[in-house]
Amino acid sequence: MKEAGRITGEALLYIRDYVRDGVSTYELDKLIRQFIEKNGARPSFLNYSGFPASACISINDEVIHGIPSKKRILRDGDIVKVDVGACYKGFHGDAARTIPVGKVSEEAARLIEVTRQSFFEGAAAARAGMRIGDIGSAIQKHAESNGFSVVRPYIGHGVGHELHEQPDVPNYGTPGHGVRLCNGMTIAIEPMINAGVKEVKDLPDGWTVKTADGKLSAHYENTVAILPDGPKILTLIDKNW
Ligand code: MG
């Protein structure tokens, strides 16, 4: 899990430098696939339930599961969510970042930062003896107290031999409720936070999820191991990102 996490986190760090005005999401996806394979792993998302690419790349009001395409060209002021999974020796890492393209609006920058921070609020509760609801409520509290909303139908999850395992890890909840966390569990904590309403809609392509009101959405995800000395974030390479 540590190796899978490292490769996943490094793939995101690698692609950050390629995110710029004029690049297509297809090109980013190709680079991510090459990076993962060069590191002896395989892209977890490729062909997962039929997903046709190695990364989910979602722009602006797209929340998650955007399909990379030669027709999707990044423009200055966009925010782009890159979600990557790498499978190494049968174990999966799963992580996502929201990356600004050039100069973005003040609100977009604040949404990205609040979403990132909400992850760390949640991850701090990823300790043996705590419960799933402790993670979700910490994320929700941080996002909502900053005037943003939490996506409900899409949530974090256990991760290990399979990309998606039990338990569900919602980004909302009640403290002290839900599955009890144990040492050795590995979970993907992944707040998806909207600037406007929490409602989302699924597009006819069968994958892409957008905000219902067309406002921006941000995503931040890491694979976290629950260990006796606290949460270890396996996909965090640059501590400030
Ligand atoms: Mg995930």
19 is a domain residue: yes
Task: Look at residue 4 in the predicted model and tell me its pLDDT.
Answer: 98
241 is a domain residue: no
The strand pairing partners of 226, in sequence order, are: 231
238 is a domain residue: no
User: What's the 196 CA to ligand 1 centre distance in angstroms?
Assistant: 22
Task: Look at residue 140 in the predicted model and tell me its pLDDT.
Answer: 98
Please give the Cα distance from 130 to 180 (Å, whole number). 6
User: What's the 156 CA to ligand 1 centre distance in angstroms?
Assistant: 6
> Token pair for residue 131?
């419960």
Task: Look at residue 42 in the predicted model and tell me its pLDDT.
Answer: 98
- Tell me how many domains the chain contains: 1
Task: Look at residue 154 in the predicted model and tell me its pLDDT.
Answer: 98
Q: Containing domain of residue 101, as a range? A: 2-233
User: What's the 140 CA to ligand 1 centre distance in angstroms?
Assistant: 17
CATH number for the domain that contains residue 52 = 3.90.230.10
User: What's the 133 CA to ligand 1 centre distance in angstroms?
Assistant: 18
239 is a domain residue: no
First to last CA, the chain: 20
User: What is the CB neighbour count within 10 angstroms for residue 212?
Assistant: 14
User: What's the 228 CA to ligand 1 centre distance in angstroms?
Assistant: 23
Query: Alpha helices of 17-170 — where are they, by DSSP H?
Result: 25-38, 106-123, 132-145
116 is a domain residue: yes
User: What's the 149 CA to ligand 1 centre distance in angstroms?
Assistant: 19
Length of the chain: 241
User: What's the 142 CA to ligand 1 centre distance in angstroms?
Assistant: 20
58 is a domain residue: yes
Task: Look at residue 114 in the predicted model and tell me its pLDDT.
Answer: 98
Task: Look at residue 66 in the predicted model and tell me its pLDDT.
Answer: 98
Task: Look at residue 121 in the predicted model and tell me its pLDDT.
Answer: 98
Which regions of the chain are under pLDDT 50? none
Are 193 and 146 within 8 A, CB to CB? no
